[in-house]
Structure 1
Amino acid sequence: MRDLNFFEPYIEKRSFKFDKVLILYILLFFTIIGVVAYSVYNYFTIRKLESDIDYRTGISQNSKTIKKVNEIKMLEDELTVFREEVTKIKGLDEIIESKDVIDDELLRLVENKMPEDMFLTTFSVYDGEIQIIGISKDKYAIAEFAKGLSSIEEYNEVFISNISQIEDYYNFNLNIALKDVSNGGNEPEE
């Protein structure tokens, strides 16, 4: 028979043994769980992306969507043409401004040369000539105005073409030829 020793658990040291097979089974179990979970996650992600692709394909092949896309393309083409035309217009505007003979300063000079009792009714510019039509109280003011305008350097020739009296006033036509205008202003620009 065997003797019972109540102090044996305290005397002997317990040793904990790792069971290698058990650890391998636990690792295998977690690996299989991880692979299955990752596969399920990928499956649902792929299904979601496929449904998203189907939805977007349906939208892109819808006749209303195609019609709107074509309309937008036409508007983009029109916008491109419009931008090109605006660029051309800006270029032409710069050319016109560079060749502009009549500017604000020249108009102020005309205004400064006008006598007090004179009124201009028409001021037109065509082919390098200015035509001024106005009303004055006397002929002397018209002659003084024409003389003052002939002193402006930009004017080549000042000519009073017509003076007529209506009641107490004189109507007059004044023609001015401008300098630095070649070929009647009709030269084509490229």
Structure 2
Amino acid sequence: MRDLNFFLPYIENNKESKKTNVILTTLTAIVLMYVIGTTVWYFSNKIILGGNIKKLQSEINDINLQNQYKKANVTIKKYTLLNKYNDEVTNTLKSISSKEIGSSNIMKTIFSTLPQEVSVVSILIDLSTVQLQCTSSNRISIAELQRNLLQIDNITNVEVSGLSADSTKKSYGFLVKCTLKGVDVK
């Protein structure tokens, strides 16, 4: 014979209800701990960051730091200005170095062609010409200078102008204009 228990359905439901209650309680506790933990973390972070902000603001408002900041800005402005000057000087130096106009070689060559009776009073050099203001004791030396300058490779044209005689010193003053090679003549 079989023993029939009429209360069995009520007892198993109670067991399942206890399992469900334990699971629900555990999940509620986990969620509650998460919410409380994140809230505590948020507020503690807020308090710590607020303290750090106040500390940094007091450091920023310090007079010594403000003075150092102003000095640094002035130094930075000077540095950028000097860098601009340096760049311009470097560009100018490169352009002068790339041209043979102001080089010492051409000046040595020109001075090596001077006859003994000719002396140079002033020199003017630009991108296309070299002008020499000279004096000479005779006209033959002037012609010799012109011929010598025409033999230089870097010079294409030599003009002698402004010839004037000074009877008291027994000398001639004149201007020599040399056109350099590779330059368009206008």
TM bucket by the smaller chain? 0.5 to 0.7
Aligned positions of 1:7-86 closer than 5 A: 60-86=60-86
Contact 2:97 2:103 in 1 (8 A): no
Structure 1 stretch displaced more, 83-92 or 171-180 = 83-92
Aligned-residue RMSD, C-alpha: 2.6
Q: Any idea what the Cα deviations from partners look like across 1:41-74, whole Å, max 9, x if unmatched? A: xxxxxxxxxxxxx7x9766422343133122123
Task: Give the structure-1-normalised TM-score.
Answer: 0.60
Which residue of structure 1 aligns with residue 162 of structure 2? 162
Residue 143 of structure 2: SS of its match in structure 1? helix
Which residue of structure 2 aligns with residue 101 of structure 1? 101
Task: Give the structure-2-normalised TM-score.
Answer: 0.61
Offset at 1:99?
Answer: 2.3
Determine the C-alpha separation between the residues in 2 that align with 1:95 and 1:131: 21
Q: Do structure 1's residue 181 and structure 2's residue 183 form an aligned pair?
A: yes
Q: Any idea what the Cα deviations from partners look like across 1:64-106, whole Å, max 9, x if unmatched? A: 4313312212321330342244134313321231123341111
Determine the C-alpha separation between the residues in 1 that align with 2:89 and 2:98: 14
Contact 2:159 2:178 in 1 (8 A): yes
Offset at 1:169?
Answer: 0.7
Offset at 1:142?
Answer: 0.8
Count residues in correspondence: 132
Offset at 1:135?
Answer: 0.9
Determine the C-alpha separation between the residues in 2 that align with 1:90 and 1:183: 29
Structure 1 stretch displaced more, 119-128 or 88-97 = 88-97
Which residue of structure 2 aligns with residue 89 of structure 1? 89
Contact 2:156 2:178 in 1 (8 A): yes
Which residue of structure 2 aligns with residue 153 of structure 1? 153
Residue 71 of structure 2: SS of its match in structure 1? helix
Determine the C-alpha separation between the residues in 1 that align with 2:114 and 2:103: 17
Determine the C-alpha separation between the residues in 2 that align with 1:183 and 1:84: 34
Offset at 1:176?
Answer: 1.0
Offset at 1:118?
Answer: 1.5
- The residue type equivalent to 1:169 in the other structure is S
Determine the C-alpha separation between the residues in 2 that align with 1:83 and 1:165: 52
- CA gap of 1:81–1:58, structure 2 versus 1, over 3 A, is same
Contact 2:101 2:127 in 1 (8 A): no
- CA gap of 1:127–1:104, structure 2 versus 1, over 3 A, is closer
Offset at 1:182?
Answer: 4.4
Which residue of structure 2 aligns with residue 138 of structure 1? 138
* Gap regions ≥5 residues in structure 1: 1-53, 185-190
Offset at 1:174?
Answer: 1.0
Which residue of structure 1 aligns with residue 120 of structure 2? 120
Q: Percent identity?
A: 15
Structure 1 stretch displaced more, 67-76 or 103-112 = 67-76
